[in-house]
Amino acid sequence: MTEPLVKLCGNRSKQDLAYSADSQATHLGFIFVQGTKRYVRPELVGRWLYEIKPHQKLVGVFVEPTLEELEIVLHYVPLDIIQLHGNETVSEVLQIKEHFAVPVYKVIHHADFGVDYMHLFKGAVDGFVVDSKVKGAYGGTGVRFDWKAIPSYMKEAEHQGVPCLIAGGITDENAAEVLNYHPGGIDLSSGTETDNKKDRNKIQALMREVENYGTSISGSTRAVR
């Protein structure tokens, strides 16, 4: 069994980034979806990164981006992962991978045929995030899905040999519960915020839960990132 990846997503200020970077999270995320509440301008993110120099992997969140949009963001931000949160097709994913030497994670919005949908992306993506399906939103909703479905997503991800993170409504208070389903990682925005800003206490409480879980699984190693 491996220790879970932890992605702190939706960093929208230099202070947010400083709190997230000063944690044992493995990934930090930024929302590059214009018109959404956590949208950040790539040139600002580039400046914060230069000043803070986080040790974590950097993830850019997009919804059906054009190659031009990706080009602009990548000019300012050295992303380690492109996370696609919309209705991107397999051929669009492959086109992105052909243009940019950056791993792509596909978000699956949990639904009855979620695992079948995930299977469609076999060989095309480098990882998955399973998030809640909420009408009118692509992500960052603070809503959880039925976590009993997690093992079936994990089985498919293991079959594909790629990581799979769980998102949607995870907080420091329910982290132990979701970790009991042994996801490859967890991805949080809402649960680490107070008044639309990252909350250092919530981040620290979350990381304590992850650490407790880590010590409870013996002989653990970090998951493949």
Q: How many residues belong to the site for ligand LARABZUK (CB under 6 A)?
A: 26
Q: Does 46 bind ligand LARABZUK (CB under 6 A)?
A: no
DSSP 5-48: EEEE----SHHHHHHHHTSS-SEEEEE--TTSTTB--HHHHHHH
- Cβ proximity to ligand LARABZUK: between 213 and 218 the closer is 213
Q: Does 11 bind ligand LARABZUK (CB under 6 A)?
A: no
> CB 218 → ligand LARABZUK: shortest distance, Å?
29
- Of 113, 106, 101, 220, which is closest to residue 162 (Cα–Cα)? 106
Q: Does 154 bind ligand LARABZUK (CB under 6 A)?
A: no
> CB 186 → ligand LARABZUK: shortest distance, Å?
9
- Within 10 angstroms of residue 222's Cβ, the number of other Cβ atoms is 11
Q: Which helix (H) or strand (E) holds 204?
A: helix 200-216
Q: Does 189 bind ligand LARABZUK (CB under 6 A)?
A: yes
Q: Does 164 bind ligand LARABZUK (CB under 6 A)?
A: no
Place of tokens 């208070």: 173
- Cβ proximity to ligand LARABZUK: between 183 and 221 the closer is 183
Q: Does 141 bind ligand LARABZUK (CB under 6 A)?
A: yes
DSSP 92-150: HHHHHHHHS-S-EEEEEE--TTHHHHHHHTTTT-SEEEEE---TT-SS-------GGGH
220 SS3 class: coil
- Cβ proximity to ligand LARABZUK: between 58 and 217 the closer is 58
Residue 22: CA count within 13 A, CB half-sphere? 13
* Segment lying near ligand LARABZUK (by CB under 6 A), choices 45-53, 97-105, 112-120, 168-176: 168-176
> CB 124 → ligand LARABZUK: shortest distance, Å?
19
Burial 141-154 (b: 16+ CB within 10 A, else e): bbebbebebbeebb
**Among residues 65, 103, 139, 183, the one that binds ligand LARABZUK under rule CB under 6 A:** 139
C-alpha span between 146 and 135 (Å, rounded): 16
Q: Does 187 bind ligand LARABZUK (CB under 6 A)?
A: yes
Q: Does 82 bind ligand LARABZUK (CB under 6 A)?
A: no
